[in-house]
C-alpha cells in the first residue's frame, strides 16, 4: 500500500476560483454576490457584487478580471474595485439568490464604529528630554498623521471632538524590574 505524501504548504481556502463560479453562470454572474471565505472570519459581513467580468489574454484559465462592488467588514467602498490578482484563488463561494437579500443587509451607519485618534502624542522619552533641554518647553507634542487608504475606520479628531484613542508613549511593564530601578515608568 503506497502512502500519499503532500508537498508544499497547507491552505485555508474553501471554495472555488472566480472563473469556476462565474464561467458557469448566465451573463458570467453579473449582479450576483460572491463571498470570499477568508473574509468570513470577521463578525461584520464582507461580500462582492459582480458588475463586469473580463478574461485575460495569455493567462491561465483560472485568472480573470472582475469589477466588483465591494463591502468589507460592513463598509461599502466608494468606487467599484477590480479583482485580478486574487481571482485564481480557490476561496470564493456564490450566494444563492435566496441568501443574497439577508446576507447583503449592511446594518452599520457611516459614523458608527469610527475611531477618533488624538492628533497629538508624546515624544519618545529620550527625545522628549533632549527637546526639553533645547527648547525649555515641557508641553511639547508630536503631530499624528494618518495614511489614507480604502478603509475609513480611523480618523483624526478635530477641534471640539473628543478622541476615543490616544497613542501612549510608554515602555509598558518591563520584563526585569531591576533594570529600571529608580526610573518613573
Q: DSSP letter at 118?
A: P
93 pLDDT more than 80: yes
Q: Identify the helix (H) or strand (E) that includes residue 72.
A: strand 64-72
Question: Per-domain residue ranges for the chain?
Answer: 18-103, 115-176
106 pLDDT more than 70: no
108 pLDDT more than 50: no
pLDDT, residue 171, reads: 65
| Whether the predicted model's global pTM rises above the 0.75 cut | no
> Considering only CA atoms, which of 62, 32, 59, 57 is closest in space to residue 47?
32
- Window from 19-33, 81-95, 105-119 with minimum mean pLDDT: 105-119
Q: For residue range 16-70, list pLDDT tens digits in order.
A: 888 888 888 888 878 889 998 888 888 888 899 999 888 877 666 678 888 998 8
> Residue ranges of the alpha helices (H) in the chain?
18-22, 97-103, 125-135
Q: What is the DSSP string of 76-101?
A: E-SS-EEE-TTTTSS-EEEPPHHHHH
pLDDT, residue 15, reads: 82
Q: How far is CA 46 from CA 121, 132, 174, in A?
A: 33, 48, 40
Q: Is 34 exposed, middle or buried (0-12, 13-18, 19+ CB in 10 A)?
A: buried
Percent of the chain with pLDDT over 70: 86
Residue range 165-172: mean pLDDT, rounded: 74
Q: Is 66 exposed, middle or buried (0-12, 13-18, 19+ CB in 10 A)?
A: buried
Residue range 66-83: mean pLDDT, rounded: 86
Q: For residue range 118-151, list pLDDT tens digits in order.
A: 888 888 888 888 999 999 998 888 888 887 765 5
Q: Is 53 exposed, middle or buried (0-12, 13-18, 19+ CB in 10 A)?
A: buried
Amino acid at each position: 500500500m503506497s502512502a500519499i505524501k503532500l508537498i508544499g504548504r497547507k491552505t485555508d481556502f474553501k471554495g472555488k476560483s472566480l472563473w469556476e463560479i462565474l464561467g458557469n453562470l448566465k451573463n458570467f454572474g453579473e449582479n450576483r454576490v460572491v463571498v470570499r471565505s477568508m473574509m468570513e472570519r470577521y463578525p461584520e459581513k464582507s461580500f462582492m457584487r459582480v458588475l463586469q467580468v473580463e478574461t485575460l489574454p495569455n493567462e491561465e484559465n483560472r485568472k480573470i478580471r472582475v469589477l466588483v462592488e465591494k463591502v468589507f467588514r460592513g463598509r461599502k467602498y466608494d468606487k467599484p474595485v477590480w479583482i485580478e490578482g486574487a481571482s485564481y484563488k480557490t476561496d470564493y463561494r456564490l450566494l444563492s439568490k435566496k441568501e443574497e437579500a439577508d446576507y447583503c443587509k449592511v446594518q452599520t451607519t457611516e459614523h458608527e464604529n469610527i475611531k477618533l485618534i488624538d492628533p497629538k502624542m508624546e515624544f519618545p522619552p529620550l527625545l522628549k528630554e533632549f527637546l526639553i533641554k533645547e527648547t525649555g518647553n515641557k508641553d511639547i507634542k508630536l503631530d499624528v498623521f494618518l495614511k489614507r487608504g480604502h478603509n475609513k475606520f480611523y480618523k483624526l479628531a478635530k477641534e471640539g471632538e473628543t478622541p476615543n484613542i490616544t497613542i501612549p508613549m510608554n515602555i509598558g511593564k518591563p520584563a526585569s524590574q531591576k533594570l529600571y530601578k529608580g526610573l518613573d515608568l
